């Protein structure tokens, strides 16, 4: 799992960091990094994931 900050907030606690699955065994679920509530596949989440995987990591150079 990797922890990322997204442009929306957890519906349960309002936290804006989420743990995203990176390995197959992590499954497809995205969890709030704070309260570990499961966030299901909303359109927003899918868009965030797609954007994350397409854009190379930005380095502060």
Contact residues: Zn ion, CB under 5 A: 10, 12-13, 15, 32, 34-35, 37
Q: Which is nearer to Zn ion, 24 or 33 (CB)?
A: 33
DSSP helix/strand/coil, 50: helix
CA dist list (Å): 24 to 3, 12, 27, 28, 45: 16, 26, 6, 8, 18
Q: How far is the CB of 59 from Zn ion (least distance, A)?
A: 29
Q: How far is the CB of 30 from Zn ion (least distance, A)?
A: 11
Q: How far is the CB of 56 from Zn ion (least distance, A)?
A: 29
């Amino acid at each position: 799992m990797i922890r990322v900050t997204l442009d929306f907030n957890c519906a349960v606690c309002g936290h804006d960091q989420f743990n995203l699955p990176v390995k197959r065994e992590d499954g497809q679920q995205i969890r709030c990094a704070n309260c570990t509530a499961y966030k299901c596949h909303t359109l927003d989440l899918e868009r965030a994931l797609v954007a994350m995987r397409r854009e190379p990591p930005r380095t502060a150079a």
